[in-house]
Amino acid sequence: MNTYDQALEDFQAAQRVRRAAELWLAAFETALVARDVVLIAALFHHDSHWRDILAFTWHLTPTAGQTSIATRLAEEQAHAGVHRLHLPKERRPPRTVTRFGIESIEAIFAFKTAVGRGSGVLRIAPDADGVMKAWHISTVLDALDGHEEKLGANRPTGAAYSRNFGGDNWADVRRKAVAYEDREPTVLVIGAAQAGLSVAARLNQQGIDTLVVEKWPRIGDSWRQRYHSLALHNAVQQNHLPYMEFPPTWPKFIPKDMLGNWFEFYADAMEINCWTDTAFVSGTWDAAATCWTAVVRRGDGTERILRPRHLVFANGVSSYPMTPDIPGLDDFKGDVIHSEGFDSGAAWKGKRAFILGTGSSANDIALDLYSNDVQTTLIQRGPTTVISIDPSARLGELPWSEGGTLEDADIVVASATPALTLKALTANAKRMSEFDKEMIDGLVSIGFKHDYGTDQTGHLMKYFRRGGGYNLDTGSSALMIKGEIGLLQYDQIERFTGDGALLRDGSVSPADLVVLATGYLPQMELVRRALGEAMVARIGPVWGIGPDGELGNMYKRTPQQGLWFIAGGLAQCRINSKYLALQIAAMEQGKLGPL
């Protein structure tokens, strides 16, 4: 086949795919506007999935099954008013793909609602009779009418300070905005890393007055102050912050200090109001005034009481360092530090170290100590999932490596329901076990306890459920297998002594340093200390998997009015900050009430 014939065939195939998507959307709109459950159901496979993000339900709502989806769509349409479904020219065109093991036509579509505009992902495949039906659809609210993000042609004019001779210039306006001397913030965000900066940037674009407080002296210090050798374990293309992508010259795996500096630059460029060296002390909900009484403490010891209507915890999946009760550790005469306080192994050159833990931080620290000629032993307390950075960890980056825009990749990722996510993670874990078989076999041969989770869903489900329990391997596994980094099972230890670890066989394994890579208390502990036990009981678990399969209390309204949570990796924060900000904006505009 010559080049012309091939191009013609490709064009005709693309047209057929596009036409199939257009026909389904047209039939869906007809059935939806009529709120006809039977007609809607006829457009879906029996085993089908729908994830709605704010467009119909004002929540993050997964629904499974043909009848359940059709019934809920018809019910929610009464107030959602979804119409004008179409394939936008600016998005990736429909194409044939294989997702979750099913070959189907995938199309990114757009629509209007009663309050704004949205988009979604449609996946259709033929049934037994050859009729194209949907087995997966997502619907996402993107913008509120009259309050669109100030981007591109909608950007601000700058008239308030441009060439304002004799008046305030931009720098003057920014200084006054950050000071909050004559007003209260509408939103108080706690934490200025990827979660806090992402949601603050999104809120700014919604016109919501937002103040971020950061306990460290500089924005980005939450990354700068971590161990010396740290770099991101996932690739640059998935880690951009909202509105500003990393330069194309940047390395694939971003070093911590480089990322910290970018955060500082980003906050300035995105005009984020931030008080650094400022700790959030406590908060109390004032039901009568429908706002918080929030106390923050500045670096000079002075306290300020703020009255925001919304409080956003953006300080990570975890909270305070967790130090388990280790028998005899108080008797140990060497140095004991938590991994949070570890910087570099240079100070222990020529000495011996134990690292309690076998997660990513533990293994990275082991490599740092080993590279500084420290005799290093990892102590394993429970089964750990080990994944190679390449190729295994790359499987999770595929949506951002398929071409198209970041926005297209993000909506594809956000479209997955919890059930589909579990299916994908199980399949990925199986592929990872094949990719990493030699490494895993080697680890098991030296007594390492390895698993892919209780249900074989792999490391990401461990992250969603408990925030740890895995190692994205950067080279320590090979060194353990060769015996150059030691491995000791915790149940082999009787207790610690002044000189090291007394083993159950009566021998003593000496050490000069113990690093506790034992993780962190869950975020609920931070809520407990800042907002009180009653608030913990009121809102329920934060992070972890909720009854509907979604993350508990994350990125959505919680049982406490005006209390929000955002956490996760950079991609998670970039994607979900948009949805959190839209909910706050809708509440401020009177379009959305408390949960």
Structure confidence at residue 112 as a pLDDT band (50, 70, 90): very high
CATH code for position 133: 3.10.450.50
Higher pLDDT, 2 or 510: 510
Whole domain around residue 557: which residue ranges?
175-319+521-588
- How many angstroms separate the CA atoms of 230 and 129, rounded? 55
Note the pLDDT of residue 320: 84
- Which of 463, 535, 524 lies closest to 320 in space, CA to CA? 524
Whether 156 is covered by a domain: the verdict is no
Do 529 and 499 lie in one domain? The reply is: no
Q: Which of 99, 121, 144 is the last residue of a domain?
A: 144
Query: 7-11, 84-88, 401-405, 430-434: lowest mean pLDDT where?
Result: 7-11
Together in a domain, 388 and 305? no
Q: Are residues 101 and 17 in the same domain?
A: yes
Q: What confidence tens digit (pLDDT) does each residue in 95-105 have?
A: 999 999 999 99
Report the percent of the chain where pLDDT is more than 90.
85
Residue 354 identity (one-letter amino acid):
F
Is 151 part of a structural domain of the chain?
Answer: no
Say if 160 falls within a structural domain.
no
Whether residue 311 sits in one domain with residue 179? yes
What is residue 433's predicted lDDT score, i.e. its pLDDT? Answer: 96
Average pLDDT, the chain: 95
pLDDT, tens digit, 9 for 90 and up, residues 264-301: 999 999 999 999 999 999 999 999 999 999 999 999 99
Structure confidence at residue 522 (pLDDT): 84
Q: Are residues 129 and 202 in the same domain?
A: no
| Mean pLDDT across 408-412 | 96
Assess whether 458 and 387 both reside in one domain.
yes
Question: Residue 208 belongs to a domain with what CATH number?
Answer: 3.50.50.60
Same domain, 308 and 212: yes
The residue that leads in pLDDT, 487 or 399, is 487
Q: Is the pLDDT of residue 29 over 90?
A: yes
Same-domain pairing of 396 and 459:
yes
Q: Is residue 75 part of a domain?
A: yes
Q: What is the mean pLDDT of residues 182-187?
A: 97
Confidence of residue 1 (pLDDT cuts 50, 70, 90): low
Count of beta carbons in the 10 Å neighbourhood of residue 364: 27
State yes or no: pLDDT of 471 exceeds 70: yes
481 lies in a domain?
yes
Mean pLDDT of 469-498: 96
Tell which of 518, 543, 563 closes a domain.
Answer: 518
- Please report whether residue 161 resides in a domain: no
Relative to beta strand 44-53, strand 60-64 is antiparallel
Same domain, 221 and 334: no
pLDDT band with cut points at 50, 70 and 90 for residue 5: confident
- Relative to beta strand 318-321, strand 375-380 is unpaired
State whether 481 and 493 are in the same domain: yes
- Helical packing angle, 437-445 and 418-435, nearest 10°: 70
Residue 106 within a domain: yes
Measured in Å, how far apart are the chain's first and last C-alpha atoms? 60
Instruction: Write down the pLDDT at residue 8.
Output: 79
Last residue of a domain, one of 518, 544, 572: 518
pLDDT digits over 395-406, tens only? 988 899 888 899
Total domains, the chain: 3
* 258 falls within a domain: yes
What are 127-163's pLDDT values in tens digits? 999 999 999 999 999 999 998 888 888 888 777 777 7
Total count of residues recorded for the chain: 595
- Residue of 475, 451, 470, 446 lying closest to 460 (CA atoms): 470
SS3 173: helix
On whether both 480 and 341 belong to a single domain, the answer is yes
Asked whether 381 and 356 are in contact (CB, 8 A), the reply is yes
In this structure, are 15 and 62 located in the same domain?
Answer: yes
